[in-house]
């Protein structure tokens, strides 16, 4: 049974992550088409949607797939293994621009500018520190410890792959700094990441000598680079000009306040319209205030049950329910099972 109320990626305005990354996850796991439901469990995306060429996932769906993959793999170093599959060619037009760029520095700048067209929840910053370039990564999505570590390993390995493609050799002079503590499989890291590796750092980052960043790309192609750049610019412009719908605006407002506390009148006032006008606009988007509120609360409740050891009573109080019985009734309405059974099924 799939316990979810999430809208499938193809129908969700927040979906902006190409499914090809998750297809690579499936290949790394050795899954057949008939086994894909195991990977997609809890995402609200079925196999047919997933295999559509232009299908997109929301950040929450992508994170959920990664969490499922970790459980299915049984390999704590799955992130490093997955990172090996993320060659520049897997990143679409952005990867094409990177491959044909004049040097590594220009490639990193392309990543920085166009990453929102591939994974909006991953934020890349570039800063020069003395004779090094630092690539600082932040994940702007709720992540549990194992998923955060896995995603960090995958991302850093992917950046190494880009640097190695352009330099034509291993980046032995690079430094990788991870926020997580050294895992039990730390001895596996050198097989995937050359150079120095640090754990327990304040920031996830990759440090590269500026001399390396300015080395000419042996595969540089100015014509291909120009064409790829135009395509990336066009994609970014469409993404930035996309006006958030009222459903998305309302969800962001609800998530910025304590669970369940935003009322319809306050939301309408914040959007400078009447309650009736807000209801009409949401209806035009095939949605409604209560539906959105229920979606937010159900996701939050499920996350607390799955990712924490808090009691049902504590979760009910945290989510501002007057009593535990009301929370239990709401939860059973959302998922068809009591909170305890849901926790047992997803544990």
What is the per-residue burial (b if ≥16 Cβ within 10 Å, else e) of 128-150? eeeebbbbebebebebeebbbbb
Give the pLDDT confidence of 104-161 residue by residue, as tens digits: 999 999 999 999 888 888 999 999 888 999 999 999 888 889 999 999 999 999 999 9
Give the pLDDT confidence of 5-53 residue by residue, as tens digits: 333 333 455 678 899 999 999 999 999 999 999 999 999 899 988 988 6
pLDDT-above-90 percentage for the chain? 59
Q: According to the model, what pLDDT value does residue 6 have?
A: 36
What are the distances in angstroms from CA 137 to CA 17, 86, 180, 200, 240?
17, 16, 13, 15, 21
User: pTM to 2 decimals?
Assistant: 0.68
Sheet of strand 175-177, all strands in order from the earlier edge strand to the far edge: 122-129, 132-139, 204-209, 175-177, 196-198
Bridge partner residues of 209 (DSSP): 132
Q: According to the model, what pLDDT value does residue 10 have?
A: 38
Collapsing DSSP to helix, strand or coil, 249 comes out as helix
Average of per-residue pLDDT across 169-191: 95
Using the predicted structure, report yes or no on whether residue 197 has a pLDDT greater than 80.
yes
Comparing 92-106, 138-152, 257-271, the range with the smallest average pLDDT is 257-271
Question: Which DSSP helix (H) or strand (E) runs through 198?
Answer: strand 196-198
Q: How confident is the model at residue 64 (pLDDT cuts 50, 70, 90)?
A: very high
Q: According to the model, what pLDDT value does residue 94 have?
A: 92
Q: How confident is the model at residue 189 (pLDDT cuts 50, 70, 90)?
A: very high
Q: What does pLDDT average to over the chain?
A: 88
Average of per-residue pLDDT across 295-302: 88
Q: Which domains does the chain have, with CATH numbers?
A: 1-74 (1.10.260), 83-239 (no CATH), 246-346 (1.10.10.60)
Q: According to the model, what pLDDT value does residue 12 have?
A: 57
What is the distance, to the nearest Å, from the Cα of residue 233 to the centroid of all Cα atoms in its chain?
22
Q: Which residue has the tokens 């352009």?
A: 166
Give the pLDDT confidence of 209-250 residue by residue, as tens digits: 999 999 999 889 999 999 999 989 988 887 766 667 888 888
């Amino acid at each position: 049974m799939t316990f979810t109320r999430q809208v499938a990626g193809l129908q969700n305005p927040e979906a902006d992550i190409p499914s090809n990354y998750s297809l690579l996850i499936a290949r790394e796991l050795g899954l057949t088409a008939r086994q894909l439901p195991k990977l997609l469990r809890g995402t609200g995306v079925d196999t047919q949607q997933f295999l559509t060429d232009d299908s997109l996932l929301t950040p929450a769906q992508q994170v959920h797939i990664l969490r499922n993959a970790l459980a299915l793999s049984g390999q704590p170093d799955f992130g490093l293994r997955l990172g090996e599959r993320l060659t520049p060619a897997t990143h679409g037009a952005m990867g094409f621009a990177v491959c044909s760029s004049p040097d590594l520095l220009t490639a990193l700048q392309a990543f920085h500018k166009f990453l929102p067209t591939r994974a909006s929840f991953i934020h890349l910053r570039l800063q020069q520190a003395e004779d090094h370039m630092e690539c600082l990564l932040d994940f702007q999505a709720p992540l549990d410890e194992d998923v955060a570590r896995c995603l960090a390993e995958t991302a850093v390995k992917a950046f190494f792959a880009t640097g190695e493609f352009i330099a034509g050799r291993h980046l032995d002079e690079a430094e990788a700094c991870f926020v997580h503590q050294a895992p039990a499989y730390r001895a596996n890291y050198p097989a995937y990441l050359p150079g120095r590796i640090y754990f327990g750092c304040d920031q996830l980052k990759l440090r590269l000598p500026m001399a390396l960043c300015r080395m000419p790309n042996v595969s540089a192609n100015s014509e291909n680079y120009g064409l790829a750049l135009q395509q990336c610019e066009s994609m970014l412009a469409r993404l930035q000009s996309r006006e958030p719908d009222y459903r998305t605006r309302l969800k962001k407002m609800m998530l910025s306040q304590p669970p369940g506390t935003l009322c319809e009148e306050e939301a309408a006032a914040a959007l400078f319209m009447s309650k009736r006008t807000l209801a009409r606009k949401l209806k035009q988007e095939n949605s409604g205030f209560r539906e959105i509120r229920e979606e937010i609360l159900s996701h939050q409740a499920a996350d607390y049950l799955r990712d924490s050891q808090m009691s049902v009573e504590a979760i009910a109080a945290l989510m501002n329910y007057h009593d535990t019985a009301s929370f239990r009734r709401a939860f059973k309405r959302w998922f068809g099972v009591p909170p305890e059974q849901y926790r047992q099924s997803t544990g």
